[in-house]
A = this chain, B = another copy of it.
Amino acid sequence: MGTAMAANLAASGQRVIAYVRRPDQIGRLEALGLTPTTDIGDLLDCKVVISMLPDDAAVRDIVFGSGDIGFRGLAAGLTPGAIHLSMSTISTAAASLLASEHERSGQGYVAAPVFGNPDAAKARQLFIVAAGVLADVDRCRPLLDCLGQKTFVIGTDPQHANLVKLLGNMMSATALEMMGEAVAVVRKRGLDPRSFVEIMTGTMFGGRAHKIYGDKIARQSYAAGFVLPLVLKDVRLALAEAENAGVPMPSVSVVRDRLITGIARGHGDLDWTALALIAGEESGLCPTPSVNSTEV
């Protein structure tokens, strides 16, 4: 995801220093017009540092520094006035903590998580939900415009962008679960799943989530994508947000259990469309050969 986004920034004329852990990636990144480095300290002179990382811990390590990467952290190292543009899907608590730490160091922190998969990132079709001090958001705007098709600014408190992103992912996850359940019925009744999905997306469910994932579910295409353990991480974060807010989310709890089942059965390297595979398995439908294909 991050690579596709960085390549789009470079293609638009920005100078992009790309931090990478593995030296064997350097050639590939150079070919994309990036300036790769394995020394994270090389980022400290940047005006804007973009992070796109898998979880809270990874972003905290980058901001506070970590023995592992021998780095004192962005908050201690960035020049005052620089901005950390944080595009990872993380908890609202982490977002607030990171924002405070940067503020203490005189830096900006803009939360800007995205909706969309790596294909969407490549095609600049991402949707971005941004929040932060408005002047900081404005300074990031030209970068955001290079990365996605639209940016929604929902306020000045960074954590709100992360909350919206987590809830949006739950809407996708429950939509996938429901399509999986419905397609299991359709398949067991001998109807064509593609016709069913076409009718759904041609009538009441014509949005991107149902179109993109519905087509994959109809074709039993479960190759990653957004792998189940990362989906479960988001579900865990969303349920924690909901618990803190005093809101039960029984629909999301259903998805949580299905993901745990799927991972326990060895499907952890499949895309979240595999919720339909799990729904099928729970209905006595056997996995099909296309499960392990590399088709995306």
Contact = CB atoms under 8 A, between A and B. Distances in A.
Contacts of A191: 154-155, 160, 163-164
Contacts of A252: 178, 181
Nearest to A205: B207
A65 to B, nearest CB: 30
Given A168-B199, A171-B178, A171-B179, A251 B251 contact: yes
A210 B174 CA distance: 13
B171 A241 contact: no
Contacts of A20: none
Interface in A210-261: 210, 241-242, 245-252, 254, 257-258
Kindly report how many copies of this chain are found in the complex they form together: 2
A279 B171 CA distance: 15
Interface string A187-223: 0110100011011111111111110000000000000
Interface in A145-167: 150, 152, 154-155, 160, 163-164, 167
A204 B203 contact: no
Contacts of A249: 181-182, 185
A284 interface: yes
Contacts of A246: 188, 283-284
A53 interface: no
A204 B248 contact: no
Contacts of A63: none
Interface in A122-161: 127, 129, 150, 152, 154-155, 160
A184 B196 CA distance: 31
A115 interface: yes
Secondary structure of the A side of the interface?
A: helix
A125 to B, nearest CB: 10
A81 B282 CA distance: 44
A208 B202 contact: no
A164 to B, nearest CB: 6
A275 B107 CA distance: 43
A172 interface: yes
A62 interface: no
A283 B246 CA distance: 6
Contacts of A168: 199-200, 203-204
Contacts of A129: 199
Contact of A174 (B174, B195, B206): B174
Most buried by B among A150, A172, A250: A250
Interface of A: 115, 127, 129, 150, 152, 154-155, 160, 163-164, 167-168, 170-172, 174-175, 177-179, 181-182, 184-186, 188-189, 191, 195-196, 198-210, 241-242, 245-252, 254, 257-258, 279, 282-284
